[in-house]
Structure 1
Amino acid sequence: MKMVPSFYHQYLDVFSKVKAEKRSPHRPCDHHTELEGSLPPAGVIYSLSTQESDTLRAYISENVEKGFIRPSSCSTGAPVLFVKKKEGGLLLGVDYHKLNAVTRKNKNPVPPMNQLLNVFNGSSIFSKIDLCGAYKLLRIKEGDEHLTCFSTKYGSYEYLVMEFGLTNAPASFQNLVNDIFQDLHDLYVVVYLDDIMVFSKSEEKHVTHVSTALSRLRANNLFAKASKCLFHVSSVEYLGYVVSSEGLKMDQANVQQILNWPPPRNLKALQSFLGFTNFYRHLIKNSSMKISSLTSFLKKDSCFTLNEEALSQFHQLKDTFTTAPVLSHFNSLLPIILETYASNNALGPILSQVSDSGKHPISFDSRKSIPAELNYQIHGKKLLGIVWALNCWRAFLLSLSSPFEVLTIILLSNTSCLQTFLLAVKASGLNSSLNFTSQSLTTLAALSRRDNVYLESGEDFISKNLMSFQQLIKKDEVQPSRHFAVKVESFSNLIDSIQKALWPDSQYRSILQELGKGKYMQDYSLDSSSKLLLFKDQVVIPNDPKIQLSILQKRHDAPLAGHPGEDKTLKLVKQDFYWSGMTQFIKDYVSFCQQCSRNKNIHHKTFGLLKPLLIPNCPWICLSMDFITHCHCQTLLTQLLS
C-alpha cells in the first residue's frame, strides 16, 4: 500500500483486494431488468478453441467460488464471446443484445462530460479514485437473476452481480454513486461511473475532502484499486482530458492516436475518424468549418472519393490537434467575451474570459448550417450566430452578476429578423442590451458595466409595426460609445414625409376623416403615437413616388439588403409598408435595376451561334416572299402590274 499516502492509511481497507472480491450485499438501487415483452429467445452455443475452452472453465470456476454466478435452469441463455486483451490472453463477454432489445430502458442519465468538467475553477490540487471491480460491486435485484443467464457447453449460469453488456448497467451504477455522493457533487467531488475526482483549493482542505470520499466508499462497501488511484497531484488525466489549475487540455495519448490515424479508405473509416475527433470539438476553433469537405461524404447517396481537398483537410485537422489551446476554467466573477462567426455554411462561436493575464478561451463550438439556414441573408445568418451562441453557453451567461452587451453590425433595416432575434434573447432570460459596432466579428461582451439601454424583464420592447423600433433605441437613451462605429438610421424623416403626403392623397383622406371621428374601418387603424395610417399593421404609404422610391432604396439597394429579387424585395417591403399597386411598382423597379441586370444569374438556355444563310450559286435556288395584309386586292394588283 505504498501508493496510498499516510494521510489515508486509516482507510486501507477500502483498497483491500480480498474484500473487493467478495459479493456485495443487496441495496435499494440494485440493478433491475424490466421486460417490455416476453423473454428473449435462447442463444446458440458457439464452437470454442482450446484456449477459449480453458478461459471459460477458469472463468466459471473463479466466479462460482466468489459467489458472482450460480448454476441456472433458465431456458433463454445468451451466448458467450471472447475478445483478445492488449497484454495477451482472452476476455470473456456475454452477448446480451437479444435481452437488451426487449428491456425497458432506464432513463436515468449519465451526466454529460462537459458539465462535469466545468466545476474546477480555483482548484489547484487533485486526486483520482478508481473503483475496483466497478459493476460487480452492484447486485442484481432478487428475482431478476435468471434474466442474466448465459449458456455454455459446461452448463448454464446466471449472474448475482451486475455484468457488462446489460443495457441499463451504466445508468444503474451512476444511480448508485449519485446516491452516495449526492451532497458532495460539484463542491469538491465529481463522479462519472467508476471514476471519482476530488478537487480542492488547498492542501489542508484536500486531505479532509479525500478522507470524506473514502469514508463514503467504506460505508457503502465500495472498494478502490490503489494502482490506478492518484493522490495530491497538480494535474490529472480525467475522462480523456488533462485537468490542472490552468484549465483543460487534450490527453496526449489520444492526440497521438489521432496523429497516427491513416487516411480513411471508405465511409466507415471516415465515420470512425470524425467520431473520435468530435470528442474534442469544443477545444478546436471552427471545427465544423475545418471538416466541411469530409462531412460532405456523410450525406445520403454521396460517393466516397477522398479528393485532394478532402485529403488536405484531413491532414490539417490532424495538425490542429497539436496546437489546440488550453481551455481556462470558467469564473463567474470575470468578464466574458463571446465572439460569433457565421459563414455561408457554418456557425462558430468562441467563449473567452478576461483576467489580469489577458483573454483566455473557455470553450469553442461550431456546427454546419441546416438547409433552411443556407437561404438566410447575411444579417439573418449573423443574428442566428448570436442566438445559437447564447443557447450554447446559456448556463455560463446566466451565472454572470452583471448584464452583457450585444455588439453587432446588423442595422435595423430587416425588422423580421430583428424581431425574431429579440424574442429569442428575451425568451432565454438573459440580461442583455443591444448596441452596434463595425467590428468584423459579432461580440457579446460583459467588459463594461454600463447600465444604458438594458432590457428589463417584462418590458414590451417588441411591437408589430415600424414605430416599435423608434421606441426600442431612443437617441437620448444611448450614450456615446466607442462601440458605435455604424450610424443607426432613424425613421423620423421618413415618418414626417409620410405624414405630409398622406392627407393630400384623395385615396386615403376619407379614411383618415372617418377614423378621426372614431368610426370603425375594416383593416385600417391609426397609430396613437405617430398618427400614421395603418393597414393590417402595415404603414400606409401615399401615392408619392419619392417616398416609395426611398423605401425601395433601403430595402433593395442598401448594402445589407443585397439587391434581392422581386419576391424577396416585395416580402421585405410588405413587412412594414403598404400602398396601392405596390406589387407592380416593385416588379418594375427590380426589373429596371441596372446592378441586378448585370449580376443576376442567367436562367435560360445558352444563346445559339449566328448561322448566316447560304449564298445561292444560281437563280431560283432559294425563294422568299413577304405577305402583305390589310390592303385592297385591286390596288395591290394594279401596283404589281404597273
Structure 2
Amino acid sequence: MLRWDITLVYLDDIIIYSKTFDKHVQHLDLVLDALQKANVKLNATKCSLARKQLDYLGFRITQEGIKPTTTNVKKTIDFPIPTSAKAAYSFVQMAQFYRRFIKDFASIAAPLNVFKTKNAKFEWTNECQKSFDTLKQKLSQYPLLAFYNDKSKLKLKINTDASNMGIGGVLHQVTSDGHLQPIQYLSRSLSKREQKYSVIEKECLAMVWCITKLRPYLYGREFTLITDHHPLCWLNKQSSKNGRLDRWSLQLQEYSFDIKHTPGSSNCVADCLSRYPLQQPDNVVEEQLEVMHGQINNISTAITSTFDSTKIQEQQQRDKRIKQLYDQLASGKQHQSYTLENGIVYKNLHRTNHMILKVPYVPTSMIEQLLQAYHNSPTAGHLGINKTWNKIRDRYFWPGMYNKIKQYVLSCTKCRQFKVDRTKPTGKLQPIEPPTGILNLMGLDFIGPVPSSSNGNKYILVCTDYLSRYAIT
C-alpha cells in the first residue's frame, strides 16, 4: 500500500516527495516495492526521478512555491491579437487560469470581459490592447505563490476590503523575519442587491466571503484579519442590532481570529482587488439567507445575542464544574484538553491532520438555549440527530453532548408531529410449512402491464410449485 505521507496519487500519476535525497531514495524504494507487489508496470520514458522542481497540472512546483509553467506562459505570450469577440474572451479564459497569481487580475482584464456576453460587438480599443499586453507582461514574470505550511507556527494574515462594486482579499503567511508571503489573491464583484448594502455590511461581507473561500487554510488555525473599516473590530466580540451582521458573526464563530484595523492607504492590495473585482459574483451562502429577510433578521439577532462571548463568560463563572477548571487554568496550571483565553474556558478538540479546534465549554444553563437555536429555529430546519450533532460539534462542547442532542431531537414535538414515516408498513411474514406433495402448495407472481404481445397480452402470471420448483407461465 502506498503511504499518503510520502506520495500523492492523481489518476495514473504518482508524485513522491521527500525533504532530503537520502530520504527520497528510501521513499522511492517503498513505492516501487508496492507497485511491484501490485503487478503495476511503469513507462520508463514517462518517469522523472530526483527532481528539485516539477511541472504538474499546469503549475511548476519548486522548493520556494508554485508558479505558472513555462509552456503555458509561452502559449499565452504567443497568443495573437484577437480579431473577434470569441478570440478575445478565449484569451481572458486562458489567462484566468492563473488569476490567483496575479494581483489585481480583475481590473486588468476588465476591458476584455465585455466580450464574454453572447453576440457581443467586437471593437478592439486602446484599453483592450493595454489589458492584453499587461496580462502577458504579468504572466511573463512568472509570479510565485508560497506554500501553505500547516505544520509550522507561522502566522496567517488576511487583508480584506470592499468597494461599491466588489470585494477582495489576500492571504499572507508571515515568516520568522516578518516577511509576508502571498498564498492566494481573491476577489469578486457584488450583485446588484449587494451593491445596495451599507458600507459596514459590504466590509463585513468581504470578511465572510474571504474567510469562507479560504476555509481549507484557516479552519482550526489562529489568524489575524486586517480591515480598514474600524467599526468591524467588535464583530467577533459583541452583537449588534443589525440582523445581517449578527448572522455573519454567527457564521464566523467556528474560526479563531483577531480583527485589526489598518488605514486604507496601508491596505492597498485588498483595496485594489475590491475596486476591480472579477466580473461574475460567486454564489455565497449569504445569497441563500435573504429569503424571509425580516423574520431571519430577528431570529439571527436573538441567536447571536444569546451566545456572545460576554454571556458565555458570565454563565461559565456560575457553573461549578467549569469554574473549577477556570480557577486551575487561571492559576497557570497547564491542561491538555482545556485552555483559558479572554476569560473563557475552551475545549481542545483534536481533528484530522493534527488540527486542534478551540471551542467554548458550554455551561449547563445554556445547553437548552443552544439546542433550541440549532434545532428549533426557522433557520435550523429541525434536522435529525446526526445533522444537528455535526452542526454543533465543531462550535461548542459539553460532556455527553451527543446523547443530549439525541434526547433533545427525539423529544422534539414538531419533529414527532410532522416527520411521519411515509413508507408503507411491511407485510406480515409467517413461516410456510413445507408441502407434503407435488402441486399441494403453489406460489403466484403477477407482472404487468408490459408491452403487448402479438396476441394482445399485457400481463404475465407465474405459478411455481413449492416442492418441485416447477414453474408455469
Question: What TM-score, normalized by structure 2, do the two folds share?
Answer: 0.51
- Compute the displacement of 1:439 (Å): 4.6
Query: Which residue of 2 is the match for residue 378 of structure 1?
Result: 199
Contact 2:155 2:223 in 1 (8 A): no
Q: Which runs of 5+ in 2 are unaligned?
A: 233-239, 271-298, 315-473
User: Per the alignment, in what secondary structure is the counterpart of residue 365 of structure 1?
Assistant: strand
User: Per the alignment, in what secondary structure is the counterpart of residue 122 of structure 2?
Assistant: coil
- Deviation readout 1:335-376 (Å, 9 max, x if unpaired): 011112333333332111111341111122223333332333
Query: Which residue of 2 is the match for residue 431 of structure 1?
Result: 256
Q: Which amino acid aligns with 1:425?
A: L
Query: Which residue of 1 is the match for residue 115 of structure 2?
Result: 297
Q: Does the C-alpha gap of structure 1 residues 326 and 220 become closer, same or farther in structure 2, counting only changes over 3 Å?
A: same
In 2, Cα distance between equivalents of 1:423 and 1:293: 38
Query: Which residue of 2 is the match for residue 336 of structure 1?
Result: 156
User: Per the alignment, in what secondary structure is the counterpart of residue 83 of structure 2?
Assistant: coil
The match for 2:210 among 369, 379, 389 is: 389
- Compute the displacement of 1:246 (Å): 0.7
- Deviation readout 1:535-583 (Å, 9 max, x if unpaired): xxxxxxxxxxxxxxxxxxxxxxxxxxxxxxxxxxxxxxxxxxxxxxxxx
Query: Which residue of 2 is the match for residue 421 of structure 1?
Result: 248
Q: Does the C-alpha gap of structure 1 residues 399 and 250 become closer, same or farther in structure 2, counting only changes over 3 Å?
A: farther
In 2, Cα distance between equivalents of 1:423 and 1:289: 32
Higher helix share: 2
In 2, Cα distance between equivalents of 1:327 and 1:297: 29
User: Per the alignment, in what secondary structure is the counterpart of residue 331 of structure 1?
Assistant: coil
User: Per the alignment, in what secondary structure is the counterpart of residue 231 of structure 2?
Assistant: coil
- Deviation readout 1:439-480 (Å, 9 max, x if unpaired): 543999xxxxxxxxxxxxxxxxx9738x959x8789xx9xxx
Q: Which amino acid aligns with 2:257?
A: S
The match for 1:317 among 119, 131, 135 is: 135
Q: Is 1:272 matched with 2:99?
A: no
Contact 1:297 1:304 in 2 (8 A): yes
User: Per the alignment, in what secondary structure is the counterpart of residue 230 of structure 1?
Assistant: coil
Q: Which has the larger radius of gyration?
A: 1
Q: Does the C-alpha gap of structure 1 residues 263 and 399 become closer, same or farther in structure 2, counting only changes over 3 Å?
A: farther
Q: Which amino acid aligns with 2:199?
A: I
Contact 1:328 1:361 in 2 (8 A): yes
- Compute the displacement of 1:302 (Å): 3.4
Q: Which runs of 5+ in 1 are unaligned?
A: 1-179, 445-461, 478-642
In 2, Cα distance between equivalents of 1:419 and 1:406: 19
Q: Does the C-alpha gap of structure 1 residues 342 and 265 become closer, same or farther in structure 2, counting only changes over 3 Å?
A: farther
Q: Which amino acid aligns with 2:252?
A: V
In 1, Cα distance between equivalents of 2:197 and 2:116: 24
- Compute the displacement of 1:389 (Å): 0.9
Equivalenced residues, count:
274
Q: Which amino acid aligns with 1:382?
A: E
Q: Does the C-alpha gap of structure 1 residues 338 and 434 become closer, same or farther in structure 2, counting only changes over 3 Å?
A: closer
In 1, Cα distance between equivalents of 2:268 and 2:109: 23
Q: Does the C-alpha gap of structure 1 residues 403 and 251 become closer, same or farther in structure 2, counting only changes over 3 Å?
A: closer
Q: Does the C-alpha gap of structure 1 residues 251 and 223 become closer, same or farther in structure 2, counting only changes over 3 Å?
A: same
Query: Which residue of 2 is the match for residue 346 of structure 1?
Result: 166
Q: Is 1:222 matched with 2:47?
A: no
Q: Does the C-alpha gap of structure 1 residues 416 and 344 become closer, same or farther in structure 2, counting only changes over 3 Å?
A: same
Equivalent positions of 1:91-106 (< 5 A) are none
In 1, Cα distance between equivalents of 2:121 and 2:46: 46
In 1, Cα distance between equivalents of 2:22 and 2:29: 11
Query: Which residue of 2 is the match for residue 363 of structure 1?
Result: 184
In 1, Cα distance between equivalents of 2:118 and 2:162: 25
Query: Which residue of 2 is the match for residue 196 of structure 1?
Result: 14
Q: Does the C-alpha gap of structure 1 residues 221 and 345 become closer, same or farther in structure 2, counting only changes over 3 Å?
A: farther
In 2, Cα distance between equivalents of 1:407 and 1:341: 6
In 2, Cα distance between equivalents of 1:207 and 1:197: 13
- Compute the displacement of 1:198 (Å): 0.7
Contact 1:382 1:442 in 2 (8 A): no
Question: What TM-score, normalized by structure 1, do the two folds share?
Answer: 0.39
- Compute the displacement of 1:239 (Å): 1.6
- Compute the displacement of 1:200 (Å): 0.6
Contact 1:341 1:348 in 2 (8 A): yes
Percent of residue pairs bearing the same amino acid type? 30
- Compute the displacement of 1:403 (Å): 5.4
Contact 1:387 1:425 in 2 (8 A): yes
User: Per the alignment, in what secondary structure is the counterpart of residue 233 of structure 1?
Assistant: coil
Query: Which residue of 2 is the match for residue 613 of structure 1?
Result: none
In 1, Cα distance between equivalents of 2:268 and 2:214: 16
Equivalent positions of 1:379-528 (< 5 A) are 379-400=200-221, 402=222, 404-405=224-225, 407-411=227-231, 415-426=242-253, 429-440=254-265, 441=267, 464=301
Contact 1:287 1:365 in 2 (8 A): no
User: Per the alignment, in what secondary structure is the counterpart of residue 129 of structure 2?
Assistant: helix
Equivalent positions of 1:6-85 (< 5 A) are none
Equivalent positions of 1:88-167 (< 5 A) are none
Q: Does the C-alpha gap of structure 1 residues 408 and 473 become closer, same or farther in structure 2, counting only changes over 3 Å?
A: farther
In 2, Cα distance between equivalents of 1:299 and 1:420: 35
In 1, Cα distance between equivalents of 2:92 and 2:251: 32
Equivalent positions of 1:246-265 (< 5 A) are 246-265=64-83
- Compute the displacement of 1:218 (Å): 2.2
User: Per the alignment, in what secondary structure is the counterpart of residue 146 of structure 2?
Assistant: coil
In 2, Cα distance between equivalents of 1:464 and 1:399: 26
